[in-house]
Amino acid sequence: MKSILQILCVASVLASPLALRSQDVAEITITADKVQFLYDVKEFTVKPAQKVKLTLINPADSVTKQPHNLLIVKPGKDMAVGMASNNAISDPAFLTTKNAIPESEDILFHTKLVQPGTQDTIEFTAPTEAGDYPYICTYPGHWAIMKGVMKVTP
């Protein structure tokens, strides 16, 4: 009888032949801090045009009950999109049906507004252009510190 370890080794070799590795889906999981407005992952790297599966987890917290989202924006546009979210707070639908996503052409990909104790997974194709793509939470007031960078590197 084969050991579990042997089976796992065989399975991982079969699942990721070297030649196909650049075509693999990048699976990224980012968890919001329970108390502070922070993501646990501040940076991740993908290849141009790589398929990406990104999950944002918002851990349950009965005290703060703080929702978060995650938006990936064009290089250098984190402040512009963040300011747009601050300005959108007067819209009554902003924190409900609009998922705290401001209207901006600088937003490339985004999760929904993730309530405590839930998560959201999005799938997208990374930009073809190499660069540093900021990601931010646009719940009003969070974007200045709740941020990270998706590096697209050949």
71 binds Cu ion (CB under 5 A): no
Strand-pair partners of 27: 53
Window contacting Cu ion (CB under 5 A); options: 47-55, 98-106, 118-126, 144-152: 144-152
Unique residue bearing structure tokens 């370890």: 5
The least distance separating Cu ion from the CB of residue 153, rounded to whole angstroms, comes to 27
Choose which of 146, 149, 150, 152 interacts with Cu ion (CB under 5 A): 146
What does 53-76 look like in DSSP terms, one character per residue? Answer: EEEEEE---TTT---B--EEE-TT
Contacting Cu ion within 30-69 (CB under 5 A): 68
The least distance separating Cu ion from the CB of residue 37, rounded to whole angstroms, comes to 5
Neighbours of 81 (CB within 10 A): 24
- In sequence order, what are the residues at sequence separation of 6 or more whose Cβ sits closer than 8 angstroms to the Cβ of residue 13? none
Minimum CB distance to Cu ion smaller for 130 or for 144: 144
The least distance separating Cu ion from the CB of residue 139, rounded to whole angstroms, comes to 4
- Report, in angstroms and rounded to the nearest whole number, the Rg of the chain calculated over CA atoms: 18
Unique residue bearing structure tokens 């990406």: 52
CA distance 105 to 102: 10
Choose which of 38, 70, 136, 137 interacts with Cu ion (CB under 5 A): 137
Choose which of 139, 147, 148, 152 interacts with Cu ion (CB under 5 A): 139
Minimum CB distance to Cu ion smaller for 109 or for 139: 139
Q: Which residues bind Cu ion (CB under 5 A)?
A: 68, 137, 139, 142, 146
